[in-house]
Amino acid sequence: MSPQQSNATRLHIVTGKGGTGKTTVAAALALALAAEGRRILLVEVEGRQGIAQLFETDALPYVERKIAVSPGGGEVHALAIDPEQALLDYLDMFYKLGRAGRALKKLGAIDFATTIAPGLRDVLLTGKACEAVRRKDKAGWRTYDAVVMDAPPTGRITRFLNVNDEVAGLARIGPIYNQAQAVMRVMKSQETSVHLVTLLEEMPVQETVDGVAELRAAGLPVGGVVINMVRPVVLDSEAVCAAANGQRTAVAKALSQAGLGGARRGGHAERLVDPLLAQAHEHAERVALERRERAELDELGLPTYELDLLGDGVDLGGLYRLAENLRKQGLGVA
């Protein structure tokens, strides 16, 4: 049993509009949660192998495998859920098909079943993650302290998680129905949180707002909003106003004093003024836009967390820095 292990496993579901970095945030959250000796499972359900790329490891098989150790000694295990394999597990668990189930896969019946019944696919994907949440060892302790799911994008997250509606047309009794009920008990429990990743841009923010409304309407537990790839404000208000007001002479003089050439008309410093004023204007517009988007997110009344833009991209070292940032802000604490 890990030092922080308890008899309750938290489920953190991470979603976001495509391009917002939700997989990166999910991976960083798993690392943050693994601090102080915790044991975390990071689950991928979309088959993109994004987790393997972030942790610079081989493609994840359909088996739980340790992929990282946190600075505090905790472990991050990962699982890429394959719907076909999950269906074979399901058939073996409830119908004891064994080799017959594998024969069905060779005949293409597994792929056929998940294609004509997409609701079944979602039950299998969510069900596998929820099984890890409920799993216990022989002593009765939960296997993992937390499970982090890199979930589908915001536009279809509610439908994906609300499997009760998805299976309504498949079955109202029997193992499939019972499995869906068990999944929903986990999804709507106090131990589950759905976190939404966004950028300070109009479309991602609007999709986040819409996603929160849909999740709340479905009775699914919304956690917090992670604002990713936050860029620094490089000019203070006074500098932005000076540039916006076209104070060419003052700007040219300042450049000259900085050793960038003469300030007279035609001088090197003076020739730098126009492109610098243009960049300052663009920067001011971006800052104003980001303030408006932040205000819209504030209206959701949810905890917000911010992660800086990593200029060189996200490598393994950067992932650990993001994880530490989340911990300092309180998202990776429990």
Give pLDDT tens digits for 227-261: 999 988 766 666 666 655 656 556 655 555 555 45
Is the pLDDT at 136 greater than 60? The verdict is yes
Helix axes 83-95, 99-106, angle to 10 degrees: 150
Q: Could you identify the residue written with the tokens 């849909």?
A: 214
Q: Could you identify the residue written with the tokens 């730098």?
A: 272
Please list, in sequence order, all residues whose beta carbon lies within 8 angstroms of the beta carbon of residue 291, skipping any fewer than 6 positions away. Answer: none
Residues 153/18, Cβ–Cβ less than 8 Å: yes
Please list, in sequence order, all residues whose beta carbon lies within 8 angstroms of the beta carbon of residue 213, skipping any fewer than 6 positions away. Answer: none
> Any bridge partners for residue 79, and if so which?
43
Residue 88's pLDDT band (cuts 50, 70, 90): confident
Q: What is the pLDDT of residue 51?
A: 95
Lowest model confidence (mean pLDDT) among 53-57, 70-74, 84-88, 233-237: 233-237
Highest mean pLDDT among 18-27, 81-90, 230-239: 18-27
What average pLDDT does the structure give for the chain?
82
Q: How big is the CA angle at 121 (ends 162 and 172), to the nearest 5 degrees?
A: 60
Is the pLDDT at 33 greater than 60? The verdict is yes
Residues 51/6, Cβ–Cβ less than 8 Å: no
Q: Who wins on pLDDT, 199 or 61?
A: 199
CA of residue 167 relative to chain centroid, distance: 26
Highest mean pLDDT among 58-62, 76-80, 122-126: 76-80
Residue 112's pLDDT band (cuts 50, 70, 90): very low
Residues 55/18, Cβ–Cβ less than 8 Å: no
pTM: 0.84
DSSP 193: E
In the chain, pLDDT over 90 holds for what percent of residues?
52
Is the pLDDT at 155 greater than 80? The verdict is yes
- Distance in angstroms (rounded) separating the CA atoms of residues 62 and 52: 13
Q: Which is it for the CA torsion 175, 181, 182, 184, positive or negative?
A: positive
Residue 1's pLDDT band (cuts 50, 70, 90): very low
